Amino acid sequence: MAALDFFFAALRALGNFTLLGLVAAACGFASFYVLWVLYLAVMNLQRARDAGTLGRAAYCLGLPLLYLGLLVDFLVNVLPVSVLFLELPREMLVTQRLTRHANDVDGWRKRLAIWFAYNLLDTFDPSGKHVK
């Protein structure tokens, strides 16, 4: 009977870890998504500024987005991106880390960094190349 109790206790603990893992994965995905939406907003503001069409009101409303984006960028770099790249951060922001890995010798981190740059970042940067 004790063996069955141990087995069921182990299953309950595994269930808690599974739920915790799912919540952590969902929070990681949500943080990437929030960072990407903020990136899109800031790149659009930069495009308007470069074209000379960014008015004072849009500038004032967009500035807090820039600062919020920097904060989220830092937090995402420290937690979810560290898990994704299986390393502690050496840089403050995700783009800096992606740039380092994109310029590395070939490996899975380089391929991952280039995937993020090509699919999510470079297209929306006014210069056409966000990860350099």
Indicate whether 21 belongs to any domain.
Answer: no
Q: Is there a domain that residue 69 lies in?
A: yes
Number of domains in the chain: 1
> Residue 66 phi/psi, 5° resolution?
-60, -45
| Residue 117 counted as domain residue | yes
Residue 76 forms part of a structural domain: yes
Q: Are 112 and 101 in contact (CB under 8 A)?
A: yes
Taking 80 as the threshold, does the pLDDT of residue 65 lie above it? yes
pTM for this entry: 0.83
E strand or H helix at 30: helix 2-51
Q: What is the pLDDT of residues 71-112, one digit of tens each?
A: 999 999 999 999 999 999 999 999 999 999 999 888 999 999
Note down the domain range covering 71.
Answer: 30-124
